[in-house]
Amino acid sequence: MFDLGWTELLVVGIVALIVVGPKDLPVLFRRVGQFVGKAKGMAREFSTAMNDAADDSGMREMSSSINKSIKAATNPVGTAMDGVKSAASSLTNLDPESETGKLAAEREADRKKIEASTARAAAERKQREATEALAKAEAAEADVTAPAAEKPATKKPAAKKPATKKPAAKKPAAKKAPAKKPAAKKAPAKKTAAKTAATKKE
């Protein structure tokens, strides 16, 4: 009600203590409290009487509409969103006996049928995939358990051994292809030489 802080109240209390005196100070505070209580009661009665008069004359409705228009002016986006929400709620609350309500009911029934058929098809597809996977697993198991005689032996790649350094051994030189023997060519020459030597001796 009054705009008093703690320092102002402290100053008023000290002045009241000096002026009134310590004996009469509690009586003064009691009377001030009674006066403040009566003032608050009168203010409350006045405000309730004014509110009743405003209700009787329709001023409250006018003030609420003014408040709405002020709100719309200060926040146009919020007001537009409120309008959209109210329009959407009016569209969802359809009369079931009207043509629109009947069409909405038919569409809802069709939507439920489509959802049911889609769920059924998905379940059948999953069941089919499960049976195919089971058949593949059984076939793979049969291949694994088949006797080794029926299966051709497959070579497994040898496991790589860790590389260890070994002293390099000298490899023998690769053998060269045998060249034509010149002795074979010389043999006839020797024969001819032997023949000529034999002929000379004679």
Q: What is the residue whose two structure tokens read 């059984």?
A: 138
CB proximity list for 79: less than 8 A, separation 6 or greater: 71, 72
- pLDDT at 187 > cutoff 90: no
More reliable by pLDDT, 90 or 175:
90
How confident is the model at residue 118, as a pLDDT? Answer: 93
R_g of the chain, CA atoms, integer Å: 59
| pLDDT recorded at residue 149 | 44
Q: Is the dihedral of CA 33, 35, 39, 44 positive or negative?
A: positive
* 3-state secondary structure at position 127: helix
- State how far the Cα of 21 lies from the Cα of 148, in Å rounded to an integer: 121
pLDDT of residue 44: 94
* pLDDT tens readout for residues 114-137: 999 999 999 999 999 999 999 998
* 37-51, 88-102, 138-152, 170-184: segment of lowest average pLDDT: 170-184
23 dihedral zone (left: phi>0; alpha: psi -120 to 50; beta): alpha
Q: Which residue type occupies 97?
A: E
Q: Summarize the confidence of residues 153-180 as an average pLDDT.
A: 54
- For residue 164, CA distances in Å to 77, 80, 95 come to 80, 82, 90
Instruction: Express as a percent the part of the chain with pLDDT over 90.
Output: 22
Q: Tally the residues of the chain.
A: 202
